[in-house]
Every structure is written in C-alpha cells, then in structure tokens.
Amino acid sequence: MSGYTSNPRIRPQESLPWIIAIAAFFLLPEYLSLGARILVYILFALSLDLILGYAGIITLGHSAFFGLGAYTAGILGAKYGVTDPFLQLIAAAAAAALLGISTGAVILRTKALTLLMLTLAITSIVLEIANKASWLTGGADGLSGVQVAPVLGLFKFDLFGRTAFIYCLVALFFGWLLVRRLIYSPFGAMLTGIRENTARMHAVGAPVYWRLVLVYTLSATMAGVAGALLTQVNQFVGLNVLGLEPSGDLLVMLILGGVGRLYGAFVGPVVYLVAQDYLAKQYPEYWYFGIGVLLIVVVLFARGGILGLFDKWLQALSRQRSSARASAR
C-alpha cells in the first residue's frame, strides 16, 4: 500500500468513515458518548498501527502513553485549573512524547521477547506510580471533576456528548491526515522496509535504531493525545487507562480490523466496542470467551482481520467476473 509504486490519491471509498460518522451524529443521538469513545480508540489504534503494522514493533505497553496523556489532561483540569482543552491536549502530547522518546531510546535496542517484556514493565511501572501517588492521581478512585472549558469558547461539553463527538471527530481527522501522509511518504516506505527485512535495511545504510525511536515517539505522542481526549470526554480519569488491559484490548481491536492497512484501525474499534457495549452487558462471562475464540480463529484463518477477509472476498468476486466474461466469449 505504501511505497514508491503506490498511488497516494485519496480514493472515493476513503470518505466512507467520515460519512458514516457524520450520519451517526444525526441519526443516532443517544449513542454519541459511545461514539466519542470509539473515535478515541480509533486514534489510539492508529498510533499502535504505526509501530505495529508498519514498523513491526510488538508492544503490550502502549497504554503507558495513553494513560499518561489521560492523566496529564486530568490532573491539569482537576487540580491546576488549566481548563483550556487545547492546552490540555498539548501538555498531554508533550508528556507522552517525552516518555516515548526516553523509553524508546532505551528499549528499542532489544527485540522480540525482551522488547515485549520491557514494554510490559514500563506500562506496569506507570500504573504503579498512578496507583501510589494518590495525592496527585486520585489513586484507585481516579480523578473526577476534571474541568474542561468550552471548545473555542463556544462549544460546551454537554451531557449528550454532541460536542464531545464532533471534537473527537476533528481530532481524529487530523490524526488520520498525518498518519496517511506518513505512510505514503518515503519514511513510510522505509518503515515497511524495516518490517519486511530489517537486515536488508541495515545493509542499505539505514540507521534503523534512530528511525524506530522516531516513529515510536510519534506513535506515543498520538496515543497520549487519544488518552487526553478520553479524559476530556468523560471528565474523569481512572486507573483503567493503564496497565496490560487497555494494551491488550487495543491489540485485539487492531487485529480484528486488520493490521498495517490504515483502515483496520477504523474497523476494529467500531466492531469491538459496539459488540462489547451490547454483548458484554448481556453475557459478561461469555464475552471473554467469545473474544478469545475470535482471536484464535483470526490468527489461524484470517490473519488480515476483517479488512483482509473483505479483500479476499473482493478478489474472489473479480475472479468470478473475469471467468464469467471469458466463458461468455
């Protein structure tokens, strides 16, 4: 999809997610807070896809950046009276970027299990800090009463989630734009190269380590913004944005949608969160069971996720059509 032979023009199908989102805004007003949550997770998933799908870094620690961003916004809004939403976002982005570059520089020299382990360790450390520093973070109770001033001074965060939805949608739009540009750029082609054959990238003179640190930091920043958005939407932040669980959930969402294909990050969270909203309430014990089975099925038979299956279906259709045409002659 990326690379020197690909076509970067925006295809008509790519406007679909935005059309659906705007339609949802008007047609499903009761579900807008769920919708805002989905949008936040799409942004979060995009950030993970950047390093997982494109650079090939397997991490279970991405929640560290998400959570740090969430808590930065929360602490500023609840404790220090910094209520301007953009200031909160910028602070969250900065904090996440700092954590990203410092941890990335340290751990990206390792690979595979060691790397995975280190990412787990980091997110566990952040969780522990958030847990213990309750004077700042509210500990296990979390921070409620996070104040967020009206966006641009005009749009207050209302109870129905209307402002929240549009706010997140706009943020997601910018995130999407940045990621899309990146993927089609030479940098994106280079990331694909690192994922496809790291040895070869070294052998063409690429300073692989520094490139990985760079993309890791970018991804962390994005995850931090997503976390901050969640806090702003809920006006609350708790420990559940940190640790293994959100990282694991995100990984499942991304795999479900399809890794390394930009729109997998859109499809996955939608399917997962909608299903969770409905099924997990009805049959909580079966929810984990179902997800587990789904995961194994996807891994064994549908590695490309939903979008992968969709592609295969399209291919099969076009083959049918061309053979029908051939036999009709």
- C-alpha–C-alpha distance, residues 294 and 271, integer Å: 12
| 186 lines the binding site for another protein (CB under 8 A) | yes
The residue range among 28-36, 159-167, 203-211, 271-279 that interacts with another protein, by the rule CB under 8 A, is 203-211
Angle of helix 85-107 relative to helix 112-132, nearest 10 degrees, comes to: 140
The residue range among 4-12, 17-25, 40-48, 231-239 that interacts with another protein, by the rule CB under 8 A, is 4-12
- C-alpha–C-alpha distance, residues 27 and 21, integer Å: 10
Positions 11 through 50 that interact with another protein (CB under 8 A):
none
Classified as helix, coil or strand, 143 is: strand
The residue range among 125-133, 161-169, 225-233, 265-273 that interacts with another protein, by the rule CB under 8 A, is 125-133
| 300 lines the binding site for another protein (CB under 8 A) | yes
| 113 lines the binding site for another protein (CB under 8 A) | yes
Return all residues near 70 (Cβ < 8 A) that are at least 6 apart: 92, 227, 228, 230, 231, 237, 241
- C-alpha–C-alpha distance, residues 150 and 156, integer Å: 4
Task: Indicate the residue among 118 and 241 with the shorter CB distance to another protein.
Answer: 118
Q: Tell me which residue of 99, 92, 91, 140 sits closest to 119, measured CA to CA.
A: 99
According to CB under 8 A, which one of 134, 289, 321, 323 is a site residue for another protein?
289
The residue range among 1-9, 41-49, 142-150, 151-159 that interacts with another protein, by the rule CB under 8 A, is 1-9
Task: Indicate the residue among 149 and 275 with the shorter CB distance to another protein.
Answer: 275
| 5 lines the binding site for another protein (CB under 8 A) | yes
The residue range among 22-30, 71-79, 287-295, 317-325 that interacts with another protein, by the rule CB under 8 A, is 287-295
- The label of the residue with tokens 């708790």 reads 238
| 114 lines the binding site for another protein (CB under 8 A) | yes
Task: Indicate the residue among 24 and 208 with the shorter CB distance to another protein.
Answer: 208
Task: Indicate the residue among 17 and 53 with the shorter CB distance to another protein.
Answer: 53
Burial 291-328 (b: 16+ CB within 10 A, else e): beebeeebeeebebbbbbeeeeeeeeeeeeeeeeeeee
**Shortest distance (Å) from residue 232 CB to another protein:** 28
| 174 lines the binding site for another protein (CB under 8 A) | no
According to CB under 8 A, which one of 10, 27, 154, 199 is a site residue for another protein?
199
| 132 lines the binding site for another protein (CB under 8 A) | yes
According to CB under 8 A, which one of 155, 187, 236, 310 is a site residue for another protein?
187
CB pairs under 8 A, 24+ apart, for 1-7? Answer: 1/183, 1/260, 1/261, 1/262, 2/54, 2/183, 2/184, 2/188, 2/189, 2/191, 2/192, 3/188, 3/189, 3/192, 4/186, 4/189, 6/184
